[in-house]
Structure 1
Amino acid sequence: MASLKESFRGQCNLHVYFAEQYLAQLEASDPHDWGGHIQRATSDSLAWQLLLAYQCHLADLIDQQPKFGLLLPEGQFNARSLVADELPPEIEELAGREVEPGWLATIVNYSFVQTATASRAPQGVLAWDGQSESAVKPDLAGCLIELKSMIARHRATLMEY
C-alpha cells in the first residue's frame, strides 16, 4: 500500500496532468462547440484541476514536514486556512501569495459561479450578453506554468531537509 506522502504527491501530479489535458482541449476547441459553452466548461475544469493540484501540494508540504505538527484540514483549504504557532516557510510564502494579485490568487479565488455584472448595456443596444466586452479571462495557461514551477521548487527544497 502506498504511503500518504506518495499519495499526496501522486494526486498532485495527476491533477497537474489533467490540467495540461484541459489546457490542450481549451486551445484546440472551437468556441461555438456546445452551444458556445465549451470554453467556459473547459476553463472551469482546468481551474478546478489547478486548485486540486494546489491543495494536494499543500497536503504534501504538511506531510513532508512533520516537525510542525500540522494536521490536514477536512474539505477545501488553502495556505491561509492553516493555523499554527509556527508554519513551514513554504506555507507562509503561499499564504501571502494567495492574497496578492497574481497567478496563485487567480487559482484560489477563481469564480466558478457567474454573477451579474455591475456594468450596463451600451446605450441603444437591445440585446447584450453583459460579458463580451467586460469579461476578463484569467491566464490559466500562465497559472499552470507557475504552479508547476512552484511545485518543482518546493519539492527540491524538501529534499534538502
Structure 2
Amino acid sequence: MAGLKESFRGQCNLHVYFAEQYLAQLESADPAEWGGHIRRATADSLVWQLQLAYQCHLADLIDQQPKFGLALPQGVFNARSFVAAELPPEIEELADRELEPGWLAVMQNYAFVQTTVASPARHGVLAWDGQFEVEAAPDLAACLTELKSMIARHRATLMEY
C-alpha cells in the first residue's frame, strides 16, 4: 500500500495547529507546574512550531513557483537563505522583513538557550527566576496571528498565478 505524500502546505498547517495548541496551553498553564518551568517549556515549544510552520511556508512558496528553479536549503533556513538572480516576490518580501524589528524577528531570534546574568548572587547558575512571563516573554499570540495572516495572504496571491 502506498503512503500519502505529505505536502509542504500540509506540514505548515500542522505546525500552525500545534502552535495554536501550545498557545492555549501557555495561556491556561498553572505557573507552578513542572517546578515553575511550564511556561518556559510551553513557550519554547510554541516558538519551535512557529519556526517550523514558517520554514514549511517558505518551502511551499518555492514548490508552488517552480519557474524560479530554487532548491530548498539543507537544515534550518529562512528567506535570506535563498540566493538567486531572481526570487519569488514573497521570498524577497520576507527576506527584507526578517531584518526589520517586529513579529518575524521576534520569532526568528527567540532565545531558546537562557544565558546567565552577571550577578554575585547567581554565581553563573542557570535557574528559573520567575521573570520570564514579566520581562522576557515576547507576544507569541501576536506572532501566531501575524504568521497565519501572512500565510493566508501569500496563498491567496499564489492562487492568482
Greater alpha carbon shift after TM alignment, 36-45 vs 128-137: 128-137
Written as runs of structure 1 = structure 2, the 5 A alignment for 1:104-115 is 104-115=104-115
Q: Which residue is equivalent to 2:61?
A: 61
Contact between 1:50 and 1:144, CA under 8 Å: does it hold in 2?
A: yes
- Give TM-score, length-normalised by structure 1: 0.88
Verify the 8 A CA contact 1:117 1:130 in the aligned structure 2.
Answer: no
- Please state if 1:41 is matched with 2:41: yes
Contact 1:90/1:154, CA 8 A, preserved across alignment:
yes
Are the counterparts in 2 of residues 79 and 95 from structure 1 also a CA contact under 8 Å? yes
- Superposition deviation, residue 132 in structure 1: 2.6
Alignment of 1:1-161 (within 5 A): 2=4, 7-117=7-117, 120=119, 132=131, 135-161=135-161
Q: TM-score of the superposition, structure 2-length normalised?
A: 0.88
| Matches of 1:48 and 1:14, distance apart in 2 | 13
Do the aligned partners of 2:50 and 2:107 also contact (CA within 8 Å) in 1?
yes
* Post-superposition offset of 1:62: 0.4
Contact in 1 for aligned 2:13/2:53 (Cα 8 Å): yes
For the 8 Å contact 2:47–2:107, the answer to whether it is kept is: yes
Displacement of 1:93: 0.5
State how far apart, in whole Å, the 1-side matches of 2:108 and 2:14 are. Answer: 19
Q: Unaligned stretches of 5+ in structure 2?
A: 122-126
Give me the whole-angstrom Cα distance separating, in 2, the residues matched to 1:121 and 1:39: 26
C-alpha separation in 2, matches of 1:121 and 1:129: 16
Q: Deviations over 1:100-143 (max 9, x none)?
A: 1100011111111111235x579xxxxx9667398321111000
Q: 1:14, CA displacement in angstroms?
A: 0.1
Query: Hey, what's the Cα distance between the residues in 1 that align with 2:28 and 2:130?
Result: 22
